Amino acid sequence: MNMSNALCVENVHVWRGDRHVLQGVSTQVHRGELLHISGPNGTGKTTLLRVVSGLLRPEQGSVTWLGQSIASHRTEYQAVLAYAAHEPALKGDLTALENLRFSVGLKRRSKPQELRGALERTGVAACADLPARVLSAGQRRRVSLARVVAMQASVWLLDEPYANLDAAGSELVSGLLADHVTAGGLALVVAHRELALTCDVRRLELNS
């Protein structure tokens, strides 16, 4: 197994106050592979995703990308990372397109047509010039997915990407994930539902 070709989580422990949320979690995700993180509420799925994103430093254990610690190679790692938290993380006073422009613009230089293309891909092209606050929860989720697409990152960390979406939206997420993974990207997805995908899916079940 080529260690340098993977995102490795090794023996990660996280405490939240007195609670030992993650108790020695270890896993590996390779390019072209999707890790489906599931488990009951409160077992630390989001916490694990935050640890892998680098937002949360584990008390013990490490996360490495291409054999290098993500804490010491933060900039390089973040350049290939797209994280979509449970909240869509949009500014209500900015339009959908401006939201994309300001957050994608920090990662890479992008043209407005590319951003509109990403919004079109997620089915919200008509909302591009509307303030995010007037969009429905499902539409906001689609805009946040468009941001992930537009970042052109190779590591996707998605927290409940299926939340608030209708049947067509769920199919869209599955399609996006399958395309991303088939193209050689890797993804960590927290989801309560079964993922019916055409690509390689591994499962990590967290228990309390």
Partner 1 sequence: MTVSAWEAFWLIVRREMRLSFRRPEQLLQPLVFFLIVTTLFPLGLSLQLSLLRDIAPGVLWVSALLSALLSLDFLFKSDADDGTLEQLALSGHALTVIVAAKTLAHWLVTGVALVLVSPIVGTALGIPLGAFATMLVSLALGTLTLSWLGAIGAGLTIGLRRGNVLLSLIVLPLATPLLIFGAAATERAISGTSPVGALYFLAALCVFTCTLAPFAAAAALRITLE
Pick the closer one to partner 1 by CB: 3 or 55.
55
Minimum distance from residue 112 beta carbon to partner 1 (Å)? 14
Residue partners of 46: CB distance under 8 A and separation at least 6:
85, 86, 159, 190
Minimum distance from residue 77 beta carbon to partner 1 (Å)? 8
Pick the closer one to partner 1 by CB: 16 or 203.
16
* Residue 63 to residue 6: CA distance in whole angstroms: 10
Pick the closer one to partner 1 by CB: 100 or 176.
100
Minimum distance from residue 194 beta carbon to partner 1 (Å)? 27
Minimum distance from residue 17 beta carbon to partner 1 (Å)? 13
Pick the closer one to partner 1 by CB: 102 or 182.
102
The token pair at 165 is 């979406």
Pick the closer one to partner 1 by CB: 187 or 201.
187
**C-alpha dihedral sign at 42, 151, 173, 125:** positive
Task: State residue 19 phi and psi, 5-degree precision.
Answer: -85, 130
**C-alpha dihedral sign at 191, 194, 198, 204:** positive
Cβ neighbourhood burial of 164 (10 Å; 0-12, 13-18, 19+): middle
Minimum distance from residue 144 beta carbon to partner 1 (Å)? 9
Minimum distance from residue 56 beta carbon to partner 1 (Å)? 5
Pick the closer one to partner 1 by CB: 114 or 200.
114
Task: State residue 86 phi and psi, 5-degree precision.
Answer: -65, -40
Contacting residues toward partner 1, per CB under 8 A: 53-57, 75, 78-79, 81, 83, 85, 87-94, 98, 102-103, 105-109
Pick from 86, 10, 82, 89: which is nearest to 47 by CA? 86
